[in-house]
Structure 1
Amino acid sequence: MKKPSGQSAPLPRKLKTVFFLSFGLWLIFLGLWTYKTYHPQASPSAAGLAPKQILLQDSEDWMSIYFNNQKIGYSHTVKQRSAEGYAINQDLFLRLMVLGFPRQMHLSSTATLTSDFLLKDFHFKMVSGYLDYSINGLVEGSNLKLTGDLMGQTQTQNILLKVPPQLPLTLPYQVYRAQMKPGESASFSLFDPVLMVPKPVTITAGATEILSLEEDARPGQRFEMNLLGNKMTVWIDYKGRVLKEEGLMGFHLIRSTREKAKKMDLGSGPDLATEVSIPVLNPPDPQKVKIVILKLFPTLENIPKTEGRQGVLGNRVTIEKEILSSDDTYLLPYDLGDQGRYLTDHPVLSLKDPRLQEALKAALANEKEAQKAAIRLNTWVFQQIKKRPTLSIPRAVEVLQQREGDCNEHATLLLALLRVAGIPSRMALGVTLLGDRFFYHAWVEAYLGRKWVSLDPTFNQVPADATHLKLAEGLEEGVASLLPIIGKLKIEIESAL
């Protein structure tokens, strides 16, 4: 595939509304080691690992955060020993550009532990200038009591624990206590404080390597982490301290000094959305094409097919813009039962929230025909939500209250409203053509009678134009499948008619 030469065409104004999906994905990756709770599960690979008693000494640790070798933030962790156990406090600061807009984010967490590093309680908070979200966790016997606050709304949940939970802040010490040898693995269940759902993760020990850090060179044992098929690497020293982390899409963290960690480039820095976008030669006008054939490099497995819109053969993907007919509808709600899983609730949707019901009434004006209702809802979200790049993990009710966001916020709110209305719907994740680049994007598909139809509330398109290449479906499962390819995928436009 030839690379475009010369200057790139100016980015169109509507690019400002595209969700920088990769940053939202990376927030999830970053949180794996700094802001999510683990609780180990028995597994054959971990069963033979004998724990070793160690004492956690008071310490203060700094990490620099980079994207494609450019500094974008830092983390600061303080560990203190007490008579009852340990207290750990961690703060992470990010400053970056998203589609030309400067953005900042602060993530903080605190935890108190027993002398055996068992979690007693924790507090997590995320502030991005758009979203303030916090959650408290309290372990009471075999129960984890969660209390979360989102924009003044309190949510509570109790989780029955099979084993005592762990925080990622203590995970390096647990790995050290286990004295894992190269080739040995341990499995854990990952608790996500944003979605409040568990995720499986496996850690495999590797060899000890000498790492060049910002202040010196130190030996650290290599550990590979596998989360839903996505691999990340962490190096831990003989005291259980994290020395370096390498994730996806060019992000990495490295141990540093206070002075070097806090020193930030006063320039604009890398624009994350543009950095992971995909340049193409001779781009067509998306509004004028009906059929597009794309060649993907490398060839990807499990690209979703959509009958009547997206077909896949090897590394070629053919996308044909759907044509709606009067038969593509039904009276609400859809009740045939064959699409029930696309009507279910999810932590980011909160379908029973009365504010969504009120918004649905305002948007539909008693419309009962599915196709017309879907178009009304798509247009309503487009008109109601101010186009602004954000750094958040959106929830439908939060978007409804804030009335601003990028494509992730638009798609999440539309998905919730469609399901509340009784229209089976699902999240579509992939890329769309803007100017001479494909940018990562999110939109929605709704089941209208006999087929799935694409809706893009960010650009008010029904159906979405033919340059919307769907690479994954679903919420966290779709996100997980996209992570390995961002920054690696190349696209060639073979034809556009």
Structure 2
Amino acid sequence: MTILDPVPQNMIIFKSMEAKNTRWTWRVTSGLVIIFWLVMMGLLLNRYHIAPVNISKIFHTPLKNKEEWASIYLHNQKVGYSVTTVTKNEGGYLLGEQTFMQLRVMDQPQQVTTYTICQVDDDFLLKSFNFRLVSGLITFSAEGEVKGHKLDLTVETGGEKSRKEIPVPQIPFLSSALKPFLVHRGIKVGDHYKLPLWDPATQSYRIITVHVEKKEPIILNNQSFECFCIRTDLMGMTLRSWISEDGDLLKEEGPMGIIIVKSTKEEALSDITTESLDILSTISIPCSPIERPRMSKYLKIRLSGLPLTGFDLDSGRQTVKGDTLVVVQEIIKQEGSYQIPNRNQLYIDYLQPSLLIQSNHPEIIKAAQGIIGDERNSVKVAQLLTQWVYSHIEKKPVLSIPSALEVLKQKVGDCNEHSALLTALLRAVGIPARPCVGILYSEGRFYYHAWVEAFLGDWVSIDPVLNQIPADATHIKFIEGDLSRQVEMLRVVGKIRVEVIA
């Protein structure tokens, strides 16, 4: 791949990018899609390859009931363990869960920690929860309490707390409550449930379907166990579980080669590999080569493997007809620019702060104003902010929940962190902006990626990892919006196929 070709007149690139293929590839790859995948499967991650931290010490709540341990495998390689607890108390039940996983992401070793503890009622419906995710230097915490049909949510990231009330049509479950709920109700073949699920990491409310398909024997440690086979479906992902007649979870199989098997504590903690497969490479999408992709202004592809409804594929520079998608790179028109701040009420939603896009935080505002100085032309301001993010954020894979304030402080991350920070900086100076997720071509494959769209007279795609305004035409947007929408990319992972036409 050549990255020093002449730059098209309508594309702004401030300095050449490195030509090292390995470094280039992980720059464009989204670690957030792994977090979506793991969290939605109820896998709660720990970062230390040692005995697990006692959950009761983290959240100052006594947990006394028995622990259930499991080993986690990815493509037949052991990558971690999980431990869960259930305790009866006056309010119902106290549930704790913790899991360790050690993964390789673009040849970079990654360890991620999450802990969850939640109070549920006697029917295992959520009353309150604490959640923490730690990845390297990055920590994300959330706690919430159900009040009627609202969830009072507090998020802590970047050393700051933010609070928000989120409407919930029905009182939800957490994923850790699903198995005890089924066991408590009594499992019967043919049982079918549609249950509201709250995910604290992605701040999303979804309906999950659970179906007890059949009873069948499985072999575990050379012993045969009669089990209920249970299918769980969420956003196009299918998870199968085998639960014994005694209510023990013996085995789970999830997307993309992940298997969880009941173990003793000693078995769970031992023999965790440090040389697992690179997970992002295993979920990338092969295709025919595209010449000079970073210079591309036009792309025509055919998408297959899943229904294309419910995505933001047919918008802006992208048009869809049937299964064929065409991307035509935008042309930035200086005459269409404006003096910031943008005061058009049509775009007010794209100027608002959120729990993770903290555009109203004094540190974000101060940074943005310091970058742009006296410049007020919207196009030139966007160029300055993009250049700054490109130059000042170390490009390193991160498995965490992207927070603009955290990125500003730590100055490290992959495409998700770059996009979160740039979105916040743009909004802070009065330029409507929204994060986007989709796929991006590199070296014969499409990888999951995140970038930004900013309103500069028209909506323009901006890639702060590649320092592109507008982004090249191999950026295929599937979703625009915040984290609760981005999680819908789970419908794509492991299913989408791409055929390059032109």
The TM tier, using the shorter chain, reads 0.7 to 0.9
- CA RMSD between the two structures: 3.3
Shift of 1:86: 5.3
Q: Measure the CA separation in 2 of the matches of 1:338 and 1:120.
A: 38
The residue that corresponds to 1:41 in the other structure is none
For these two proteins, the number of residue pairs brought into alignment is: 465
Is the alpha carbon distance of 1:114 and 1:336 closer, same or farther for their aligned partners in structure 2, counting shifts above 3 Å?
Answer: closer
Q: Measure the CA separation in 2 of the matches of 1:287 and 1:198.
A: 37
Match of 2:401 among 390, 393, 404: 393
Match of 2:72 among 65, 75, 93: 65
The residue that corresponds to 1:423 in the other structure is 431
**Structure 2: tracts of 5 or more residues without a match:** 1-18, 46-62
Shift of 1:366: 3.0
Q: Secondary structure at the match of 2:336?
A: coil
Conserved? CA contact 1:319–1:466, under 8 Å: yes
2:332 paired with 1:321: no
Shift of 1:15: 1.9
| TM-score, normalising length: structure 2 | 0.81
1:338-417 superposed matches below 5 A: 338-417=346-425
Is the alpha carbon distance of 1:364 and 1:148 closer, same or farther for their aligned partners in structure 2, counting shifts above 3 Å?
Answer: same
The residue that corresponds to 2:3 in the other structure is none
Shift of 1:166: 4.9
Name the aligned partner's letter for residue 433 of structure 2: S
Conserved? CA contact 1:295–1:315, under 8 Å: yes
Q: Measure the CA separation in 2 of the matches of 1:117 and 1:314.
A: 44
Conserved? CA contact 1:299–1:314, under 8 Å: no
Match of 1:282 among 275, 278, 289: 289
Is the alpha carbon distance of 1:59 and 1:438 closer, same or farther for their aligned partners in structure 2, counting shifts above 3 Å?
Answer: same
1:80-479 superposed matches below 5 A: 80=87, 87-111=94-118, 122-137=129-144, 148-156=155-163, 166-179=173-186, 181-196=188-203, 198-213=205-220, 216-228=223-235, 230-298=237-305, 300-302=307-309, 304-305=312-313, 309-449=317-457, 451-476=458-483, 478-479=485-486
The residue that corresponds to 2:33 in the other structure is 22
Q: Secondary structure at the match of 2:268?
A: helix
Is the alpha carbon distance of 1:153 and 1:216 closer, same or farther for their aligned partners in structure 2, counting shifts above 3 Å?
Answer: farther
Shift of 1:59: 2.7
Name the aligned partner's letter for residue 274 of structure 1: S
Name the aligned partner's letter for residue 239 of structure 2: M
Conserved? CA contact 2:86–2:96, under 8 Å: yes
Conserved? CA contact 1:384–1:403, under 8 Å: yes
Shift of 1:220: 3.0
Shift of 1:422: 2.4
Q: Measure the CA separation in 2 of the matches of 1:382 and 1:165.
A: 40
Is the alpha carbon distance of 1:345 and 1:205 closer, same or farther for their aligned partners in structure 2, counting shifts above 3 Å?
Answer: farther
Name the aligned partner's letter for residue 400 of structure 1: L
Q: Secondary structure at the match of 2:335?
A: coil
Shift of 1:103: 0.8
Name the aligned partner's letter for residue 434 of structure 1: S
Deviations 1:22-63 (Å, cap 9, x if unpaired)? 3132133134x659xxxxxxxxxxxxxxxxxxxx99432112
Name the aligned partner's letter for residue 191 of structure 1: W
Name the aligned partner's letter for residue 501 of structure 2: E
Shift of 1:477: 5.0
Is the alpha carbon distance of 1:339 and 1:224 closer, same or farther for their aligned partners in structure 2, counting shifts above 3 Å?
Answer: farther
Name the aligned partner's letter for residue 344 of structure 1: Q
Task: State which drifts further: 352-361 or 14-23.
Answer: 14-23
Task: State which drifts further: 91-100 or 485-494.
Answer: 485-494
Is the alpha carbon distance of 1:452 and 1:306 closer, same or farther for their aligned partners in structure 2, counting shifts above 3 Å?
Answer: farther
The residue that corresponds to 2:56 in the other structure is none
Deviations 1:235-288 (Å, cap 9, x if unpaired)? 333333333333333333232233332233444111011111122333312133
Shift of 1:153: 2.4
1:474-489 superposed matches below 5 A: 474-476=481-483, 478-489=485-496
Q: Secondary structure at the match of 1:249?
A: helix
Using the aligned pairs only, state the percent identity.
34
Deviations 1:274-330 (Å, cap 9, x if unpaired)? 111122333312133322222223364135346662222233222222221223312
**Structure 1: tracts of 5 or more residues without a match:** 1-8, 36-55
Name the aligned partner's letter for residue 330 of structure 2: E
Deviations 1:96-151 (Å, cap 9, x if unpaired)? 11111101112223346677757676433222113123344567999976555434
Q: Measure the CA separation in 2 of the matches of 1:196 and 1:483.
A: 15
Shift of 1:393: 0.8
Q: Measure the CA separation in 2 of the matches of 1:425 and 1:228.
A: 26
